[in-house]
Structure 1
Amino acid sequence: MARTVNKEEYAAKRDEILSVAQRLVYTKGYERMTVQDILHEIGMSSGAFYHYFETKPAVLEALVEKIQEEAEQPLLPVVHDPELSAVDKLRGYFATMERSRDMQKAFIAQLVRIWFADENSIVREKVHEAIIRRRSPLLTAIITQGIREGVFSTPHPAQTSEVILVLARGMGDTLAKLMLSIDREGDDQSTLENIAATYAVYADAVERVLGAARPFLVRPDLSTVRGWFETGDRS
Protein backbone atom coordinates (compact mmCIF):
# COMPACT_ATOMS: atom_id res chain seq x y z
CA MET A 1 0.00 0.00 0.00
CA ALA A 2 1.37 3.42 -0.96
CA ARG A 3 2.53 5.66 1.88
CA THR A 4 0.21 8.62 2.47
CA VAL A 5 2.06 11.94 2.68
CA ASN A 6 0.66 14.94 4.51
CA LYS A 7 1.66 17.75 2.15
CA GLU A 8 1.68 20.45 4.84
CA GLU A 9 3.81 18.39 7.22
CA TYR A 10 6.14 17.43 4.39
CA ALA A 11 6.59 21.08 3.34
CA ALA A 12 7.15 22.18 6.95
CA LYS A 13 9.84 19.54 7.55
CA ARG A 14 11.50 20.35 4.22
CA ASP A 15 11.62 24.03 5.19
CA GLU A 16 13.10 23.07 8.56
CA ILE A 17 15.87 21.13 6.83
CA LEU A 18 16.63 24.09 4.57
CA SER A 19 16.64 26.55 7.48
CA VAL A 20 19.14 24.39 9.38
CA ALA A 21 21.25 23.99 6.24
CA GLN A 22 21.23 27.75 5.69
CA ARG A 23 22.44 28.41 9.23
CA LEU A 24 25.20 25.81 8.87
CA VAL A 25 26.32 27.31 5.55
CA TYR A 26 26.53 30.71 7.24
CA THR A 27 28.46 29.38 10.24
CA LYS A 28 30.55 26.46 8.97
CA GLY A 29 30.57 26.94 5.22
CA TYR A 30 29.02 24.64 2.62
CA GLU A 31 32.14 22.54 2.01
CA ARG A 32 32.53 21.74 5.72
CA MET A 33 28.83 21.14 6.32
CA THR A 34 27.74 17.50 6.13
CA VAL A 35 24.37 15.82 5.86
CA GLN A 36 25.11 14.35 9.29
CA ASP A 37 25.37 17.90 10.69
CA ILE A 38 21.85 18.58 9.45
CA LEU A 39 20.53 15.30 10.85
CA HIS A 40 22.11 16.00 14.23
CA GLU A 41 20.55 19.47 14.42
CA ILE A 42 17.07 18.24 13.53
CA GLY A 43 17.16 14.84 15.21
CA MET A 44 16.31 13.01 12.01
CA SER A 45 17.44 9.64 10.67
CA SER A 46 19.25 9.39 7.34
CA GLY A 47 16.43 7.24 6.01
CA ALA A 48 13.87 9.94 6.79
CA PHE A 49 16.15 12.65 5.36
CA TYR A 50 16.33 10.96 1.96
CA HIS A 51 12.58 11.25 1.60
CA TYR A 52 13.25 15.00 1.19
CA PHE A 53 16.68 15.26 -0.45
CA GLU A 54 18.76 12.59 -2.14
CA THR A 55 22.12 14.36 -1.80
CA LYS A 56 23.88 17.31 -0.22
CA PRO A 57 23.99 19.12 -3.61
CA ALA A 58 20.20 18.68 -3.81
CA VAL A 59 19.94 20.52 -0.49
CA LEU A 60 22.10 23.29 -1.94
CA GLU A 61 19.94 23.66 -5.04
CA ALA A 62 16.79 23.94 -2.94
CA LEU A 63 18.46 26.30 -0.47
CA VAL A 64 19.57 28.66 -3.23
CA GLU A 65 16.03 28.77 -4.60
CA LYS A 66 14.66 29.45 -1.10
CA ILE A 67 17.11 32.31 -0.52
CA GLN A 68 16.32 33.91 -3.86
CA GLU A 69 12.57 33.47 -3.54
CA GLU A 70 12.65 35.25 -0.17
CA ALA A 71 14.84 38.04 -1.56
CA GLU A 72 12.59 38.42 -4.60
CA GLN A 73 9.28 38.84 -2.78
CA PRO A 74 9.72 42.53 -1.78
CA LEU A 75 10.69 43.38 -5.38
CA LEU A 76 7.54 42.05 -7.04
CA PRO A 77 5.12 44.80 -5.91
CA VAL A 78 7.51 47.42 -7.29
CA VAL A 79 8.10 45.69 -10.61
CA HIS A 80 4.40 44.98 -11.21
CA ASP A 81 2.98 48.33 -10.04
CA PRO A 82 1.05 49.68 -13.08
CA GLU A 83 1.17 53.23 -11.71
CA LEU A 84 4.97 53.50 -11.69
CA SER A 85 7.14 54.69 -14.56
CA ALA A 86 10.14 52.60 -15.59
CA VAL A 87 12.52 55.04 -13.91
CA ASP A 88 10.54 54.90 -10.66
CA LYS A 89 10.42 51.11 -10.84
CA LEU A 90 14.18 50.85 -11.27
CA ARG A 91 14.75 53.32 -8.45
CA GLY A 92 12.32 51.30 -6.35
CA TYR A 93 14.08 48.06 -7.26
CA PHE A 94 17.42 49.31 -5.97
CA ALA A 95 15.86 51.11 -2.98
CA THR A 96 14.12 47.89 -1.93
CA MET A 97 17.41 46.01 -2.11
CA GLU A 98 19.07 48.69 0.00
CA ARG A 99 16.30 48.64 2.62
CA SER A 100 16.64 44.89 2.92
CA ARG A 101 20.40 45.24 3.37
CA ASP A 102 19.97 48.02 5.92
CA MET A 103 17.49 45.97 7.99
CA GLN A 104 20.00 43.11 8.18
CA LYS A 105 23.22 45.11 8.42
CA ALA A 106 24.37 43.58 11.72
CA PHE A 107 23.81 40.08 10.35
CA ILE A 108 25.50 40.91 7.04
CA ALA A 109 28.53 42.33 8.84
CA GLN A 110 28.94 39.00 10.65
CA LEU A 111 28.20 36.94 7.54
CA VAL A 112 30.45 38.58 4.97
CA ARG A 113 33.68 36.87 6.09
CA ILE A 114 32.31 33.33 5.98
CA TRP A 115 30.26 34.05 2.84
CA PHE A 116 33.39 34.96 0.88
CA ALA A 117 35.48 32.12 2.30
CA ASP A 118 36.60 29.35 -0.06
CA GLU A 119 34.23 26.94 1.69
CA ASN A 120 31.27 28.82 0.20
CA SER A 121 32.56 29.39 -3.33
CA ILE A 122 30.11 26.90 -4.83
CA VAL A 123 27.22 28.51 -2.93
CA ARG A 124 28.15 31.95 -4.25
CA GLU A 125 28.21 30.63 -7.81
CA LYS A 126 24.84 28.91 -7.41
CA VAL A 127 23.30 32.04 -5.88
CA HIS A 128 24.65 34.19 -8.71
CA GLU A 129 23.21 31.81 -11.32
CA ALA A 130 19.85 31.92 -9.55
CA ILE A 131 19.91 35.72 -9.40
CA ILE A 132 20.48 35.93 -13.16
CA ARG A 133 17.74 33.39 -13.87
CA ARG A 134 15.11 34.86 -11.52
CA ARG A 135 15.78 38.61 -11.61
CA SER A 136 16.73 39.12 -15.23
CA PRO A 137 13.07 38.80 -16.36
CA LEU A 138 12.05 41.40 -13.75
CA LEU A 139 14.65 43.89 -14.96
CA THR A 140 13.91 43.08 -18.59
CA ALA A 141 10.26 44.04 -18.05
CA ILE A 142 11.29 47.37 -16.51
CA ILE A 143 13.80 48.10 -19.27
CA THR A 144 11.28 47.25 -21.98
CA GLN A 145 8.79 49.63 -20.37
CA GLY A 146 11.49 52.32 -20.25
CA ILE A 147 12.17 51.88 -23.96
CA ARG A 148 8.45 52.37 -24.68
CA GLU A 149 8.46 55.49 -22.49
CA GLY A 150 11.50 56.88 -24.29
CA VAL A 151 13.76 57.05 -21.21
CA PHE A 152 16.01 54.08 -22.11
CA SER A 153 17.48 53.41 -25.54
CA THR A 154 19.16 50.01 -25.37
CA PRO A 155 18.21 47.71 -28.28
CA HIS A 156 18.73 44.56 -26.19
CA PRO A 157 16.72 44.72 -22.94
CA ALA A 158 17.20 41.07 -21.93
CA GLN A 159 20.95 41.15 -22.39
CA THR A 160 21.15 44.55 -20.69
CA SER A 161 19.38 43.17 -17.63
CA GLU A 162 21.97 40.40 -17.35
CA VAL A 163 24.81 42.92 -17.67
CA ILE A 164 23.31 44.98 -14.84
CA LEU A 165 23.17 41.90 -12.61
CA VAL A 166 26.72 40.85 -13.49
CA LEU A 167 27.91 44.36 -12.66
CA ALA A 168 26.02 44.14 -9.36
CA ARG A 169 27.88 40.98 -8.48
CA GLY A 170 31.21 42.63 -9.22
CA MET A 171 30.23 45.58 -7.07
CA GLY A 172 29.14 43.24 -4.27
CA ASP A 173 32.47 41.42 -4.31
CA THR A 174 34.36 44.72 -4.23
CA LEU A 175 32.24 46.06 -1.38
CA ALA A 176 32.74 42.87 0.64
CA LYS A 177 36.52 43.21 0.38
CA LEU A 178 36.27 46.86 1.42
CA MET A 179 34.06 45.95 4.39
CA LEU A 180 36.59 43.37 5.55
CA SER A 181 39.43 45.86 5.18
CA ILE A 182 37.81 48.21 7.72
CA ASP A 183 38.60 45.76 10.51
CA ARG A 184 41.93 44.71 9.05
CA GLU A 185 43.44 48.09 8.21
CA GLY A 186 41.59 50.47 10.49
CA ASP A 187 41.37 53.26 7.88
CA ASP A 188 37.60 53.67 8.03
CA GLN A 189 37.45 57.07 6.32
CA SER A 190 39.34 55.96 3.23
CA THR A 191 37.36 52.72 2.99
CA LEU A 192 34.01 54.47 3.34
CA GLU A 193 35.01 56.89 0.58
CA ASN A 194 35.92 53.92 -1.63
CA ILE A 195 32.54 52.32 -0.94
CA ALA A 196 30.67 55.51 -1.85
CA ALA A 197 32.75 55.81 -5.03
CA THR A 198 32.05 52.18 -5.95
CA TYR A 199 28.30 52.78 -5.69
CA ALA A 200 28.61 55.92 -7.81
CA VAL A 201 30.55 54.09 -10.52
CA TYR A 202 27.97 51.28 -10.54
CA ALA A 203 25.14 53.80 -10.94
CA ASP A 204 27.03 55.45 -13.81
CA ALA A 205 27.54 52.09 -15.50
CA VAL A 206 23.89 51.06 -15.17
CA GLU A 207 22.65 54.35 -16.60
CA ARG A 208 25.05 54.07 -19.53
CA VAL A 209 24.17 50.49 -20.50
CA LEU A 210 20.50 51.51 -20.34
CA GLY A 211 21.15 54.49 -22.58
CA ALA A 212 19.32 56.59 -19.98
CA ALA A 213 18.35 60.07 -21.10
CA ARG A 214 19.67 61.53 -17.82
CA PRO A 215 21.06 60.34 -14.46
CA PHE A 216 18.32 58.96 -12.21
CA LEU A 217 19.88 56.54 -9.71
CA VAL A 218 20.75 57.59 -6.16
CA ARG A 219 24.43 57.90 -5.28
CA PRO A 220 24.91 57.47 -1.50
CA ASP A 221 27.00 60.16 0.16
CA LEU A 222 29.65 59.51 2.81
CA SER A 223 27.33 60.01 5.78
CA THR A 224 24.86 57.50 4.33
CA VAL A 225 27.59 54.91 3.82
CA ARG A 226 28.87 55.47 7.35
CA GLY A 227 25.39 54.76 8.68
CA TRP A 228 25.45 51.33 7.05
CA PHE A 229 28.21 50.28 9.43
CA GLU A 230 26.74 51.67 12.63
CA THR A 231 25.63 48.31 13.99
CA GLY A 232 26.73 48.99 17.54
CA ASP A 233 29.20 46.09 17.45
CA ARG A 234 31.72 45.42 14.74
CA SER A 235 33.45 42.53 16.53
Structure 2
Amino acid sequence: MELKDKIVEVAYDLFATKGYDKTTIADIIKGAGASKGGFYHHFKSKDEILEKIIFASIEEIVLYYKEVLDDDSTTAVAKLSESFYRLNEAKKESAKDWNKLKKLYTFKGNHVLLKRMAEAFEEQTADFYHHLIKQGIESGEFQVQYPKQLGALWSREVIKFHQMSRRIFTGVKDNEDEFYDMLKFDEELINSQLGIESGRIRLVEMGDAYLQSMKKIVREGML
Protein backbone atom coordinates (compact mmCIF):
# COMPACT_ATOMS: atom_id res chain seq x y z
CA MET A 1 0.00 0.00 0.00
CA GLU A 2 1.29 3.46 -0.91
CA LEU A 3 2.13 5.73 2.03
CA LYS A 4 -0.53 8.26 0.99
CA ASP A 5 -3.23 5.57 1.04
CA LYS A 6 -1.93 4.23 4.37
CA ILE A 7 -2.15 7.69 5.92
CA VAL A 8 -5.75 8.06 4.74
CA GLU A 9 -6.69 4.60 6.02
CA VAL A 10 -5.15 5.20 9.46
CA ALA A 11 -6.65 8.69 9.71
CA TYR A 12 -10.11 7.34 8.84
CA ASP A 13 -9.93 4.76 11.64
CA LEU A 14 -8.65 7.34 14.13
CA PHE A 15 -11.27 9.94 13.19
CA ALA A 16 -13.99 7.29 13.53
CA THR A 17 -12.80 6.04 16.94
CA LYS A 18 -11.23 9.04 18.71
CA GLY A 19 -13.11 11.71 16.81
CA TYR A 20 -11.69 14.23 14.37
CA ASP A 21 -10.99 16.96 16.91
CA LYS A 22 -9.15 14.62 19.31
CA THR A 23 -6.97 13.05 16.64
CA THR A 24 -3.59 14.71 16.17
CA ILE A 25 -1.25 14.64 13.20
CA ALA A 26 1.23 12.89 15.49
CA ASP A 27 -1.35 10.10 16.04
CA ILE A 28 -1.73 9.67 12.28
CA ILE A 29 2.02 9.67 11.63
CA LYS A 30 2.57 7.05 14.33
CA GLY A 31 -0.29 4.83 13.14
CA ALA A 32 0.86 4.98 9.52
CA GLY A 33 4.49 4.31 10.42
CA ALA A 34 5.44 7.45 8.54
CA SER A 35 7.93 10.21 9.12
CA LYS A 36 6.85 13.81 9.62
CA GLY A 37 8.37 14.66 6.27
CA GLY A 38 6.57 11.74 4.62
CA PHE A 39 3.25 12.96 6.00
CA TYR A 40 3.70 16.56 4.86
CA HIS A 41 4.87 15.40 1.45
CA HIS A 42 1.32 14.16 0.82
CA PHE A 43 -0.88 16.33 3.06
CA LYS A 44 -0.71 19.85 4.43
CA SER A 45 -3.07 19.18 7.34
CA LYS A 46 -5.53 16.69 8.78
CA ASP A 47 -8.28 18.87 7.29
CA GLU A 48 -7.01 17.90 3.86
CA ILE A 49 -7.16 14.20 4.78
CA LEU A 50 -10.72 14.54 6.06
CA GLU A 51 -11.77 16.26 2.85
CA LYS A 52 -10.24 13.45 0.81
CA ILE A 53 -12.09 10.83 2.88
CA ILE A 54 -15.43 12.59 2.58
CA PHE A 55 -15.18 13.35 -1.12
CA ALA A 56 -13.99 9.83 -1.96
CA SER A 57 -17.62 8.71 -1.67
CA ILE A 58 -18.63 11.32 -4.26
CA GLU A 59 -15.87 10.11 -6.58
CA GLU A 60 -17.19 6.54 -6.31
CA ILE A 61 -20.68 7.71 -7.24
CA VAL A 62 -19.33 9.66 -10.23
CA LEU A 63 -17.56 6.52 -11.48
CA TYR A 64 -20.80 4.57 -11.11
CA TYR A 65 -22.73 7.26 -13.01
CA LYS A 66 -20.19 7.09 -15.84
CA GLU A 67 -20.54 3.30 -15.94
CA VAL A 68 -24.31 3.62 -16.32
CA LEU A 69 -24.09 6.27 -19.04
CA ASP A 70 -21.49 4.27 -21.01
CA ASP A 71 -23.57 1.07 -20.99
CA ASP A 72 -24.92 0.66 -24.54
CA SER A 73 -26.60 -2.68 -23.82
CA THR A 74 -29.76 -1.28 -22.22
CA THR A 75 -32.38 1.47 -22.59
CA ALA A 76 -32.49 4.90 -20.99
CA VAL A 77 -35.66 3.90 -19.12
CA ALA A 78 -33.90 0.86 -17.66
CA LYS A 79 -30.86 2.98 -16.77
CA LEU A 80 -32.98 5.45 -14.84
CA SER A 81 -34.69 2.70 -12.85
CA GLU A 82 -31.39 0.91 -12.31
CA SER A 83 -29.68 4.09 -11.11
CA PHE A 84 -32.33 4.57 -8.42
CA TYR A 85 -32.10 0.92 -7.38
CA ARG A 86 -28.30 0.88 -7.31
CA LEU A 87 -28.07 4.08 -5.27
CA ASN A 88 -30.42 2.49 -2.74
CA GLU A 89 -28.25 -0.62 -2.64
CA ALA A 90 -25.15 1.51 -2.05
CA LYS A 91 -26.91 3.21 0.88
CA LYS A 92 -27.82 -0.18 2.35
CA GLU A 93 -24.26 -1.43 1.94
CA SER A 94 -22.86 1.64 3.71
CA ALA A 95 -25.18 1.14 6.70
CA LYS A 96 -22.56 -0.95 8.51
CA ASP A 97 -20.27 2.09 8.59
CA TRP A 98 -22.82 4.66 9.73
CA ASN A 99 -21.74 4.65 13.37
CA LYS A 100 -18.19 5.37 12.23
CA LEU A 101 -19.37 8.05 9.84
CA LYS A 102 -21.43 9.80 12.52
CA LYS A 103 -18.31 10.20 14.65
CA LEU A 104 -16.24 11.13 11.63
CA TYR A 105 -18.60 13.96 10.73
CA THR A 106 -18.90 15.33 14.29
CA PHE A 107 -16.37 18.11 14.62
CA LYS A 108 -16.26 21.87 15.04
CA GLY A 109 -17.26 23.63 11.85
CA ASN A 110 -18.47 20.41 10.20
CA HIS A 111 -21.45 22.16 8.61
CA VAL A 112 -19.18 23.90 6.10
CA LEU A 113 -17.61 20.71 4.76
CA LEU A 114 -20.87 18.75 4.86
CA LYS A 115 -22.59 21.53 2.92
CA ARG A 116 -19.88 21.33 0.26
CA MET A 117 -20.30 17.55 0.13
CA ALA A 118 -24.08 17.85 -0.27
CA GLU A 119 -23.67 20.45 -3.01
CA ALA A 120 -21.13 18.28 -4.83
CA PHE A 121 -23.45 15.25 -4.67
CA GLU A 122 -26.41 17.24 -5.98
CA GLU A 123 -24.33 18.77 -8.77
CA GLN A 124 -22.95 15.40 -9.94
CA THR A 125 -26.35 13.73 -9.67
CA ALA A 126 -28.07 16.51 -11.63
CA ASP A 127 -25.39 16.27 -14.32
CA PHE A 128 -25.85 12.49 -14.50
CA TYR A 129 -29.62 12.73 -14.94
CA HIS A 130 -29.21 15.53 -17.47
CA HIS A 131 -27.01 13.32 -19.66
CA LEU A 132 -29.19 10.26 -19.11
CA ILE A 133 -32.30 12.18 -20.16
CA LYS A 134 -30.45 13.44 -23.25
CA GLN A 135 -29.61 9.83 -24.13
CA GLY A 136 -33.29 8.97 -23.86
CA ILE A 137 -34.23 11.89 -26.10
CA GLU A 138 -31.67 10.84 -28.71
CA SER A 139 -32.92 7.23 -28.65
CA GLY A 140 -36.52 8.38 -29.02
CA GLU A 141 -37.58 7.05 -25.61
CA PHE A 142 -38.12 10.42 -23.89
CA GLN A 143 -39.99 13.53 -24.97
CA VAL A 144 -38.42 16.30 -22.88
CA GLN A 145 -38.09 19.97 -23.77
CA TYR A 146 -35.78 20.98 -20.91
CA PRO A 147 -33.48 18.04 -20.04
CA LYS A 148 -31.03 20.04 -17.91
CA GLN A 149 -33.77 21.51 -15.76
CA LEU A 150 -35.52 18.15 -15.38
CA GLY A 151 -32.20 16.52 -14.43
CA ALA A 152 -31.69 19.12 -11.69
CA LEU A 153 -35.26 18.70 -10.45
CA TRP A 154 -34.98 14.92 -10.37
CA SER A 155 -31.69 14.99 -8.48
CA ARG A 156 -33.37 17.06 -5.75
CA GLU A 157 -36.27 14.61 -5.58
CA VAL A 158 -33.87 11.66 -5.20
CA ILE A 159 -32.04 13.48 -2.39
CA LYS A 160 -35.36 14.30 -0.69
CA PHE A 161 -36.37 10.63 -0.93
CA HIS A 162 -33.25 9.54 0.96
CA GLN A 163 -33.64 12.28 3.56
CA MET A 164 -37.27 11.38 4.26
CA SER A 165 -36.70 7.63 4.31
CA ARG A 166 -33.79 8.02 6.74
CA ARG A 167 -35.90 10.09 9.14
CA ILE A 168 -38.45 7.27 9.12
CA PHE A 169 -36.23 4.22 9.56
CA THR A 170 -34.09 5.94 12.22
CA GLY A 171 -37.20 6.92 14.16
CA VAL A 172 -36.70 10.68 13.88
CA LYS A 173 -40.00 11.03 12.05
CA ASP A 174 -42.82 8.52 11.69
CA ASN A 175 -45.09 10.01 9.01
CA GLU A 176 -45.05 7.22 6.45
CA ASP A 177 -48.19 8.51 4.73
CA GLU A 178 -46.30 11.64 3.72
CA PHE A 179 -43.39 9.50 2.50
CA TYR A 180 -45.60 7.33 0.30
CA ASP A 181 -47.48 10.36 -1.01
CA MET A 182 -44.11 11.78 -2.06
CA LEU A 183 -43.23 8.51 -3.81
CA LYS A 184 -46.55 8.46 -5.69
CA PHE A 185 -46.10 12.09 -6.70
CA ASP A 186 -42.52 11.48 -7.87
CA GLU A 187 -43.52 8.39 -9.84
CA GLU A 188 -46.21 10.33 -11.68
CA LEU A 189 -43.85 13.28 -12.10
CA ILE A 190 -40.94 11.42 -13.67
CA ASN A 191 -43.06 9.27 -15.98
CA SER A 192 -45.12 12.20 -17.23
CA GLN A 193 -42.16 14.58 -17.60
CA LEU A 194 -40.21 12.00 -19.59
CA GLY A 195 -43.20 11.49 -21.85
CA ILE A 196 -43.52 7.76 -21.13
CA GLU A 197 -46.53 5.74 -20.03
CA SER A 198 -47.68 5.91 -16.42
CA GLY A 199 -46.02 3.33 -14.18
CA ARG A 200 -43.16 2.60 -16.58
CA ILE A 201 -40.70 3.65 -13.88
CA ARG A 202 -42.01 1.95 -10.73
CA LEU A 203 -40.71 4.34 -8.10
CA VAL A 204 -43.23 3.46 -5.38
CA GLU A 205 -42.31 -0.21 -5.55
CA MET A 206 -38.56 0.48 -5.43
CA GLY A 207 -38.89 3.10 -2.69
CA ASP A 208 -41.00 0.82 -0.51
CA ALA A 209 -38.54 -2.06 -0.93
CA TYR A 210 -35.69 0.22 0.16
CA LEU A 211 -37.53 1.51 3.23
CA GLN A 212 -38.48 -2.00 4.36
CA SER A 213 -34.89 -3.19 3.90
CA MET A 214 -33.54 -0.30 5.96
CA LYS A 215 -36.11 -0.92 8.70
CA LYS A 216 -34.90 -4.51 8.86
CA ILE A 217 -31.29 -3.37 9.15
CA VAL A 218 -32.29 -1.10 12.06
CA ARG A 219 -34.22 -3.91 13.79
CA GLU A 220 -31.23 -6.21 13.49
CA GLY A 221 -29.07 -3.61 15.20
CA MET A 222 -26.77 -2.86 12.30
CA LEU A 223 -27.21 0.89 12.75
Taking the TM superposition and a 5 Å limit, the aligned residue runs for 1:157-172 are 157-172=147-162
Give distance in 2, aligned partners of 1:204 and 1:94: 15
Give distance in 1, aligned partners of 2:102 and 2:51: 22
* 3-state SS in 1 of match to 2:42: coil
Please say if residues 152 and 213 of structure 1, whose CA atoms lie closer than 8 Å, have aligned partners that are also in contact.
no
Alpha-carbon offset, residue 16 of structure 1: 2.1
Match of 2:118 among 128, 134, 139: 128
Letter of the 2:215 counterpart: F
Partner of 2:215: 229
Amino-acid identity (%): 20
C-alpha distance 209-101 of structure 1, shift in aligned 2 (>3 A): same
C-alpha distance 153-71 of structure 1, shift in aligned 2 (>3 A): same
Give distance in 2, aligned partners of 1:15 and 1:83: 35
Please say if residues 79 and 93 of structure 1, whose CA atoms lie closer than 8 Å, have aligned partners that are also in contact.
no
Alpha-carbon offset, residue 219 of structure 1: 1.4
Give distance in 1, aligned partners of 2:189 and 2:15: 33
Taking the TM superposition and a 5 Å limit, the aligned residue runs for 1:36-185 are 36-108=26-98, 110=99, 113-114=102-103, 120-181=110-171
User: How big is each residue's C-alpha offset from its partner over 1:20-58, in whole Å with a ceiling of 9 and x where there is no partner?
Assistant: 334445556556655344334324343321100113333
C-alpha distance 72-29 of structure 1, shift in aligned 2 (>3 A): farther
Give distance in 2, aligned partners of 1:71 and 1:132: 11
C-alpha distance 152-63 of structure 1, shift in aligned 2 (>3 A): same
Alpha-carbon offset, residue 125 of structure 1: 2.0
Please say if residues 24 and 30 of structure 1, whose CA atoms lie closer than 8 Å, have aligned partners that are also in contact.
yes
Give distance in 1, aligned partners of 2:104 and 2:139: 40
Length, aligned pairs only? 218
C-alpha distance 34-208 of structure 1, shift in aligned 2 (>3 A): farther
C-alpha distance 61-104 of structure 1, shift in aligned 2 (>3 A): closer
Letter of the 1:102 counterpart: K
User: How big is each residue's C-alpha offset from its partner over 1:139-192, in whole Å with a ceiling of 9 and x where there is no partner?
Assistant: 22211012234443333323332332233333333333333326xx8xxxx555
Alpha-carbon offset, residue 193 of structure 1: 5.5
Alpha-carbon offset, residue 69 of structure 1: 2.4
Long gaps (5+) in structure 1: 1-8
- TM-score, normalized by length of structure 1? 0.70
Please say if residues 74 and 96 of structure 1, whose CA atoms lie closer than 8 Å, have aligned partners that are also in contact.
no
Aligned residues: CA RMSD: 3.5
Alpha-carbon offset, residue 233 of structure 1: 1.7
Give distance in 2, aligned partners of 1:25 and 1:202: 38
Worse-matched range after superposition: 39-48 or 197-206:
197-206
- TM-score, normalized by length of structure 2? 0.73
Q: Are 2:218 and 1:218 aligned? A: no
Letter of the 2:114 counterpart: R
Alpha-carbon offset, residue 87 of structure 1: 0.6
Long gaps (5+) in structure 2: none
* 3-state SS in 2 of match to 1:176: helix
